[in-house]
């Protein structure tokens, strides 16, 4: 009896397991291998490629289509087909979203020049520029002789504008100070000098010398938007600083021709942290322009030497030797 029990036990342990492979099946159809190859190619796409996520989703979709074809025509396997249909739909939705995000953004014809000249060189994408200009700003116009701001009357807290077309003249008590040309901020000095002190009035008069169009932001909403986007905030700091410096050059030599002033906008520039309104007032009320600009030079240099930009080459550090005073 003991021998019979041992023999039965040995035979039981030697019975093949139902889950083990006794014989390997033949290789699957070519579609199965092409599907796996598509998945492999999608996974090895380097992330350094600009379109790597789109290519990944495209390869996953290709693999899913091949698996669906294989499961339907050659295996007649319903569950494999259904799962791959689900994967295909999920990847298609991701693919469509990624392609949609990269669609070409159509910038308003009147804003193309501003984008190309001011924002594109600073790597502001078209979609971000559209957000900046599409929600809380308007395009307004002035006829020749109309006033954008009147000294001691117009509040500086309401808006910030860029001139799109035409030319404006800045004066103080009837004395000409400088011109404002296309693709330049109209009221950048007031925007900078009143960031901490609100409720002030323009101390200069800005008048349209030609029929003008300008892009106008609500100052409060623009400030709130820039606070939520550090990159754009740095962009505006740089652009406003550069614009103020160009106005410094114009004040130093108000006889600059239109062509020379426009060429100056393309040159690297710095900016002063002092009140531009005070400078404009002083320039309009005295003939000793060299002394005033020297005073601004000394005040601006001491107050801004430690301000640096982490994202852009800031133009707001100091007024250096390049400013001809």
Per-residue model confidence as pLDDT tens digits over 15-66:
555 567 677 677 788 888 899 999 999 999 998 888 899 999 999 999 999 9
Which residue range(s) make up the domain with 128? 109-260
The C-alpha atoms of residue 266 and residue 258 are separated, in whole angstroms, by: 14
- Per-residue pLDDT tens for 268-282? 433 333 344 454 444
Highest mean pLDDT, choosing among 106-110, 130-134, 214-218, 287-291: 214-218
pLDDT band at 287 (very low <50, low <70, confident <90, very high): very low
Whether residues 167 and 195 share a domain: the answer is yes
Going through 99-173 in order, the beta strands assigned E by DSSP cover 137-142, 147-149, 159-165, 168-172
Nearest to 306, CA basis, from 273, 261, 264:
273
Give the pLDDT score at 247: 85
Domain termination residue (choose one: 48, 81, 102): 102
Look at 266 and 80; give whichever has higher pLDDT.
80
Domain count, the chain: 2
- Per-residue pLDDT tens for 152-188? 898 888 889 999 999 999 998 888 888 899 999 998 8
**CB–CB of 205/151 below 8 Å?**
yes
The C-alpha atoms of residue 187 and residue 193 are separated, in whole angstroms, by: 10
The C-alpha atoms of residue 318 and residue 71 are separated, in whole angstroms, by: 70
pLDDT band at 239 (very low <50, low <70, confident <90, very high): very high
As beta bridge partners, residue 162 has: 185, 215
Burial class of residue 170 in the structure, from the number of CB atoms within 10 Å of its CB (0-12 exposed, 13-18 middle, 19+ buried) = buried
Residue 303 lies in a domain: no
Look at 112 and 267; give whichever has higher pLDDT.
112
Whether residues 131 and 244 share a domain: the answer is yes
Q: What is the mean pLDDT of residues 6-23?
A: 53
* 246: pLDDT strictly greater than 70: yes
Domain termination residue (choose one: 260, 286, 312): 260
């Amino acid at each position: 009896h003991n021998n019979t029990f041992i023999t039965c036990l040995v035979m039981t342990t030697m019975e093949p397991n139902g889950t083990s492979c006794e014989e390997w099946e033949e290789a699957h159809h070519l579609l199965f291998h092409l599907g796996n190859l598509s998945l492999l190619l999608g996974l090895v796409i380097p992330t350094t490629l600009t379109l790597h996520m789109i290519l990944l989703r495209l390869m996953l979709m290709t693999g899913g289509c091949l698996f669906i074809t294989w499961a339907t025509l050659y295996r007649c396997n319903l569950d494999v087909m259904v799962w791959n249909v689900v994967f295909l739909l999920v990847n298609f939705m991701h693919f469509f979203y990624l392609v949609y995000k990269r669609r070409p953004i159509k910038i308003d014809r009147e804003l193309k020049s501003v984008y190309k000249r001011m924002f594109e060189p600073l790597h502001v994408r078209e979609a971000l520029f559209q957000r900046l200009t599409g929600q809380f700003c308007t395009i307004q116009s002035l006829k020749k002789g109309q006033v954008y701001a009147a000294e001691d009357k117009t509040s500086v807290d309401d808006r910030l504008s860029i001139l799109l077309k035409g030319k404006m003249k800045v004066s103080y008590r009837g004395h000409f100070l400088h011109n404002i040309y296309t693709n330049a901020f109209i009221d950048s000095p007031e925007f900078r000098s009143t960031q901490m002190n609100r409720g002030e009035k323009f101390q200069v008069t800005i008048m349209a010398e030609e029929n003008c169009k300008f892009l106008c932001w609500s100052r409060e909403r623009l400030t709130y938007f820039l606070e939520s986007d550090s990159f754009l905030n740095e962009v505006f700091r740089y652009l406003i600083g550069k614009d103020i410096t160009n106005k410094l050059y114009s004040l130093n030599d108000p006889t600059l021709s239109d062509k020379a002033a426009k060429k100056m906008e393309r040159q690297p520039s710095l900016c002063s942290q002092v009140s531009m309104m005070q400078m404009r007032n002083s320039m309009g009320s005295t003939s000793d322009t060299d002394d005033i600009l020297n005073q601004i030079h000394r005040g601006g240099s001491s107050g801004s030497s430690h301000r640096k930009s982490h994202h852009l080459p800031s133009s707001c550090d100091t007024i250096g030797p390049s400013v001809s005073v």
